Amino acid sequence: MQAQRVLPPGVGLASSSIGKKVIMAVTGLIWIGFVVFHMYGNLKIFWGPEYFNEYSSGLRYLGGPIFGHTHLLWVARLVLILAIVLHVWAAVSLYQRARTARPRSYEMHRTLQANYAAITIRYGGAVIFFFVLYHLMHLTWGVPVIHDQFHHGDAYSNVLYGFQKIHNVIIYTIAVIALGLHLYHGTWSMFQTLGVNNRNSDRLVRGLALALALIVPLGFIIVPYSILFGFVS
């Protein structure tokens, strides 16, 4: 009798379609928490430069005095980086597995019947991924070719100057639309994967997904347009 191969705990789950969907759901939940918190922080710009800069610098002292300067911030960054790497890996793996397992005619038929958010979530995810890199270079790292008047320690002025440029507002708008679609489909799928979504709660879950898909993008987009049209200066 041939001995069965015993996999370490968790390896078999991670290699299965269900396991990858669970990984996508959990990492997606982490990023949903982050974007909601980030949106809330962005809205503080309406309270003026002193308040906004105090909030921005205060992020480096999160958890103090138990945690040292930027320690908890770096923990959060590492968790987010790991989450997005696992999220992308699981998404790509599931997509490749689906293409291999299904005939092309079936895949085309399935795509035609899918809703708009489901069709575009894959491309929207790519848009969000590259926008995150652009956003970091623009308002966190201050890469000169993207932000030529970046001043460390003056987050208010950096945001103000950055969104006085129409091309940055357009890029931001495209990313926010992609985020809204991703939040709607992703939130519903996440609850379904985690077993929360059933026949009785489907309407509630869809309502929550729709609320996130509308409120979060609106909270993000109001800042650049308020700056562009002079309501914040």
Range with the poorest average pLDDT among 11-15, 28-32, 133-137, 221-225: 11-15
pLDDT at 122 over 90: no
Domain ranges of the chain: 12-228
DSSP 141: S
CA distances from 143 to 24, 148, 149 (A): 31, 7, 10
pLDDT at 120 over 80: no
pLDDT-derived band at 166, boundaries 50, 70, 90: very high
CB 46 within 8 A of CB 232: yes
pLDDT at 17 over 50: yes
Candidates 71, 96, 89; CA nearest to 28 is 89
Q: Per CATH, which fold does 12-228 belong to?
A: 3 helical TM bundles of succinate and fumarate reductases (1.20.1300)
As a whole number of angstroms, the distance between CA 137 and CA 36 comes to 21
pLDDT at 161 over 80: yes
pLDDT at 196 over 80: no
What was the pLDDT predicted at 12? 59
